Amino acid sequence: MSIADDFKNFLSSIKISDDKSSRVSNRYQEITKALNIKFRDTESRVNNCLQVGSYGRWTAIKGISDLDMLYILPPSKWDEYNVAEGQSKLLKDTKDAILDRYPRTTVFVDRLVVCVQYTDFHVEVQPVFKQEDGSYKYPDTYKGGKWKTTKPQAELDEIRRMNDLKNRNLRRLCKMARAWKNKQGIAIGGLLIDTLAYNFLKSTDYFDDKSYIYYDFMCRDFFKFLSEEPTDKDHYQALGSNQDVKVKDQFHDQAKDAYNKCVKAISNEGTEKANNYWRKIFGSNFPLIEKVNLTLESLRYKHTEEFIDNKFPIDIRYKLKIECEVSKQGSYEAVRKYFRKPKNKLKHGRNLDFYIESINIPSHLQYKVHWKVLNRGIEAQKRDCIRGQIYIRGEKISEHSSFNGEHLVECYIVENGVVVARDKIFVPIEEL
């Protein structure tokens, strides 16, 4: 299989399924109908609604759980809500209208929007007033309430225009970048991802007439571009609208690591090793090279490793950091930073306590913590002790350094059936 086929299959594997697209469209339409009945006395399921966010920009991938829509209010309602506490009243009226349609669904006001919580995704509804310049005023309830301005139509128009100019490569790059951030657990927003991909392709004309066969080079150059962005930059100007987009999580180290893996993958093109490097960047949705014959060694141990993207949708939105305390017979030795030095390896007979050090998930959300402990290397295979299953555990787990290998511990935060944060620690253990 060629590199072009690999990237075609990869992009196909991360697209939103027809079933989910149908469910999302139906939810959008039902919410729109409920609001049209409330504010316009009509039952239209499509008028006065604007799909925004990554779904509206056509850059979303499977696993998306955070959807956005604007509901455009009639101008005649402006005077009713442009009063003291009017912003809060508008959001409450929007919430009540949606609850009339979904009385058993969790619907609540969250400062700027009304959040409608479904089984595997939620919709953030923002009631707005359209302005003559094409922008929209929306309510902000913070400190008594005020009106702010958003320009999503400019973003939708610009990504469509640039995608056409770049041989449809922009939206595909945005989708691959989402798979990368979900694999690496980087809590950067969708608009920032799209803006960074836009800025990269705008900076070069090399890929203007290229397609899938050059996507290995395009990914390599994109990650190099990201790794060289200023590390102290706390916001960017969004494509099209030029509105500020905050940098919620740093991405430079992960981008540099991805660039190095791209270089290795390209130098090993056509081999199993190359595809393994791409999977380390993008996750298990990137295809493997099928093995014609299993080796005798591979039959001597059970292949027990599980992959989180086969169990849950992934949509990383929050930053998680796990730590590890290492001790021997109660005597403290080291923490995570010890593992970051290439030559440092743990000795046998150590106790390892892994725990959640920090997570910025909102306090009102309920979540479950899943852990994966994977043993790697020849010794793990000889002992038939690969492990790698994913289990619900508490916020702390304890392990023991038993045998040589480059082992891995990973933590996943699952909220409403979606992985919204993840982090990992590599644990190298020395030979006896």
Look at residue 333 in the predicted model and tell me its pLDDT.
62
Regarding beta strands 122-130 and 113-117, do their DSSP bridges make them parallel or antiparallel, or are they unpaired?
antiparallel
Best CA proximity match to 320, nearest among 185, 416, 184, 177: 185
pLDDT score recorded for residue 355: 94
pLDDT value at residue 315: 95
For the chain, the farthest-separated pair of C-alpha atoms sits apart, in whole angstroms, at 78
Whole-number Cα distances in Å, 395 to 36, 210, 354, 380, 417: 45, 47, 8, 26, 18
Residue 267 or 335, more confident? 267
3-class DSSP state of 382? helix
Each residue's pLDDT tens digit, 268-293: 999 999 999 999 999 999 998 865 45
What pLDDT sits at residue 91? 97
Q: Inform me whether the pLDDT recorded for 352 exceeds 80.
A: yes
pLDDT digits (tens, 9 = 90+) for 123-176: 999 999 999 999 999 999 987 789 999 999 999 999 999 999 999 999 999 999
Q: What is the pLDDT of residue 43?
A: 95
Going along the chain from its start, the domains and CATH numbers come out as 13-150 (3.30.460.90), 155-266 (no CATH), 294-429 (2.60.40.10)
Which pLDDT belongs to residue 343?
Answer: 62
Q: Each residue of 228-238: pLDDT tens digit?
A: 999 999 999 99
Q: Residue 174: exposed, middle, or buried by beta-carbon count in 10 A (0-12, 13-18, 19+)?
A: buried
Work out the average pLDDT over 236-259: 96
pLDDT tens digits for range 210-247: 999 999 999 999 999 999 999 999 999 999 999 999 99
Token pair 């992959």 in the structure block, residue: 307
pTM of the predicted model as reported, rounded to 2 decimal places: 0.91
Using CA atoms, how far apart are residues 153 and 135, in angstroms rounded to an integer? 8
The string of pLDDT tens digits covering residues 100-110 is 988 999 999 99
88 CB-near residues (< 8 Å, 6+ apart): 109, 139, 141, 145
Question: How far apart are the C-alpha atoms of 121 and 417, rounded to whole Å?
Answer: 9
- Which amino acid belongs to residue 126? Q
Give CA–CA dist 36/44, Å, rounded.
Answer: 7
CB 397 within 8 A of CB 354: yes
The strand ranges marked E within 75-163 are 106-110, 113-117, 122-130, 136-140, 146-150
Predicted confidence band at 35 (pLDDT cuts at 50, 70, 90)? very high
pLDDT tens digits, residue range 372-427? Answer: 999 877 777 777 788 889 999 989 999 887 776 778 899 999 998 999 999 999 88
DSSP 336: G
What's residue 326's pLDDT?
Answer: 85
pLDDT band (50, 70, 90) for residue 337: low
Q: What is the rounded average pLDDT for all residues in the chain? A: 91
